[in-house]
Amino acid sequence: MTSSGYRALVALGITSLISLVLTKPLLAPDHDAIYHLSGPASSVFLPVFLDFFLAWTIVFGLLAIAQRATRLSIPIWTAIFLTLPYMLLQNFLSLKEKPLPQWMVLFLALAPCLTIAGIAAFFGRPRALNLFHWLQHFTTSVFCFASLFGVLVLAKLLGNGWSARHLNDSPHLHQPAPMATKQAPPRVIWILLDELSFAQTYGHRFSGLQLPAFDSLAAESTVFTNVAPVGTLTQMVVPSLLTGIPVDGRRVSLEGQLDALHNPATRTWQPFHPNQTVFQDALDRGYSTGVAGWYNPYCRILPQVLDHCFWIDDSFSVGTLLSGQSGLQNFLEAFWQTPYMVRHALSPTAGTPPSSDAVQLHALLHIDDYEKLRSAGDALLSDSSCTFLFLHMPVPHPEGIYDRNRHAFATAGGFSYLDNLALADRYIAHVRQVLEQRGEWNSSTLIVIGDHSWRTFMWSSNANWTREDELASRGRYFDDRPAYIVKLPNQQNSATIDTRFAATNTRAMLDALLDHSLRASGDLQTWVAAHNH
């Protein structure tokens, strides 16, 4: 093999190792990164390829200089010996999601280099050079062997990118049958507010927090005070709500499709079929279905049973590569900040407060998702022919994007779950206003739920956890009850259901609501009692 070929392999080995944190999400067997992309697959696969090639080019160039310029060989290889252990350790810890203090990472990474330096100083320069050359030969052999892994990584990236090339092409939605002279059924509107906590909304509301829309809704609805959630992960909870089966696992294809769900009760995998969801139930009953949703790729996994669909999660990211940006934009962002894998590897460990720019960018993307979903939801609410609506909104999901004191969006950080809860209240007020203006509020069935409660156990370790979050959660206490409110058509009285109610019964309850068999709060209480087993 020529010296150039050997350097190319060594550079490939080094690049494949330091880029693990960048390539792993696109190669992970759960295909989670592919599943949640709301933009084209090229928006992340292309930048990864380009960043990988850029890093390889830089490393190859440095190795070529080290070989041709003898005086620069030792400084270049010394830099490699000093930085690579640290970068590799950072990447490994990031993949394992087990952060260590920065000083400990530095010590563990630099310890081998410091040991070698100590040996060299003790034994003298000739032996130090011999040791240095032995280490250089040993590491190049290791990196040359690692290049085989690099070839597999690139081949897998290419294969996954090709499989996902049609990821978010325009879906072929269900075509609603002409209504002719048949009267459209009264509307059923299902709103899922992501991470809506019963405790914070009604049970143990923080002192001084005003939620007038939720209070008005409770005055003419049935509030469930003791709901047993499906789980704490939206990607598991929503399929369970749609299908009526408990879910604790899922299988996703490279094409971004939801293939199967794991039922913990039967300990079996069940194929996911759109026609075995509540949307098919609605179509069978003569409803027209519509979705405006966040996070889950509704239009990709449910096109056969949806007449109208919009979904988005542009705030989802693979490293710094954003779902809502083009491949060129993502690459240029990474290029101007140095290759992503190097930037990440040299960054502080997890738990360090993010930069103000990162906080602002995340907030802007979260706000943009909210506003686009609100607009798409309004279009469905304003279309009377869409009679069964599902609106999945990205609030009060942290991090804080709203200043409830100024009644305005906020991007500077420092705002709490309660601020986002106030924004969720504002959204409920907006939905009510739209329906009242259309004369459809009283006649419509409205279900407002949280997919899960406020996950204090997760967010309390986040750098943006606030003092108000700490106080509102009563010292980070996790109350697992999601909010769950049902307003029946023309309901004027308030009611509560205090018995434990399993959220997996949501599909069955929606079917009863679609059948108009629940006409009063007493009917709902009787139904819950019959299904509470």
> 302 and 274 in contact (C-beta within 8 Å)?
yes
Q: Give the DSSP H or E segment for 192.
A: strand 188-193
Can you state the percent helix, strand and coil of the chain, rounding each to 5?
50, 10, 35
- Summarize pLDDT for 394-449 with one digit per residue, the tens: 999 999 999 999 999 998 878 999 999 999 999 999 999 999 999 999 999 999 99
Rounded Cα distance between 255 and 434, Å, is: 37
Question: Which CA distances in Å does 474 have to 207, 224, 227, 404, 464?
Answer: 12, 22, 20, 20, 17
Strands (E), 221-359: 222-224, 227-228, 249-252, 258-263, 268-271, 289-294, 308-312, 317-318, 321-322
**Amino acid in position 233:** L
> 333 and 279 in contact (C-beta within 8 Å)?
no
Written as six digits, the tokens of 147 are: 């290049």
Closest Cα to residue 533, out of 166, 259, 202, 265?
A: 265
Give 35: exposed, middle or buried? Use CB within 10 Å, 0-12, 13-18, 19+: buried
pLDDT tens sequence for the chain (533 residues): 567 888 889 889 888 888 887 788 888 888 988 999 888 888 888 888 888 888 899 888 888 888 787 777 777 777 777 667 666 666 666 655 555 555 565 565 566 566 555 555 555 556 666 766 777 787 788 888 889 988 999 999 999 999 999 998 888 998 876 655 467 789 999 999 999 999 999 999 999 999 999 999 999 999 999 999 999 999 999 999 999 999 999 999 999 999 999 999 999 999 999 999 999 999 999 999 999 999 999 999 999 999 999 999 987 776 666 666 666 666 666 555 444 444 444 444 444 445 566 677 788 889 999 999 999 999 999 999 999 999 999 999 999 999 999 999 998 878 999 999 999 999 999 999 999 999 999 999 999 999 999 999 999 988 889 999 999 999 999 999 999 999 999 999 999 999 999 999 999 999 999 999 998 889 999 999 998 76
- Summarize pLDDT for 174-231 with one digit per residue, the tens: 887 665 546 778 999 999 999 999 999 999 999 999 999 999 999 999 999 999 999 9
Written as six digits, the tokens of 13 are: 């080995």
Lateral strand order in the sheet of 484-487 = 308-312, 289-294, 388-393, 188-193, 445-449, 484-487, 222-224, 495-497
Rounded Cα distance between 294 and 366, Å, is: 10
Cβ-based neighbours of 71, under 8 Å, separated by 6 or more? none
Q: Classify residue 133 as left (phi > 0), alpha (psi -120 to 50) or beta.
A: alpha
Our measurement of the distance from residue 49's CA atom to the centroid of its chain's CA atoms, rounded to an integer in Å, reads 23
> 270 and 245 in contact (C-beta within 8 Å)?
yes
310 phi/psi in degrees, rounded to 5: -145, 135
Please count the other Cβ atoms lying within 10 Å of the Cβ belonging to residue 330.
Answer: 29
Please count the other Cβ atoms lying within 10 Å of the Cβ belonging to residue 265.
Answer: 9
**Helix/strand/coil (H, E, C) string of 381-445?**
HCCCCCCEEEEEECCCCCCCCEECCCCEECCCCCCCHHHHHHHHHHHHHHHHHHHHHCCCCCCCE
Please give the domain boundaries of the chain with CATH numbers for all domains. Answer: 3-163 (no CATH), 188-244+274-318+350-531 (3.40.720.10)
Half-sphere exposure of 493 (CA within 13 A, CB side): 6
Cβ-based neighbours of 127, under 8 Å, separated by 6 or more? 120
Cβ-based neighbours of 222, under 8 Å, separated by 6 or more? 485, 486, 487, 488, 491, 494, 495, 496, 497, 521, 524, 525
Q: What is the pTM of this model?
A: 0.87
Rounded Cα distance between 510 and 507, Å, is: 5
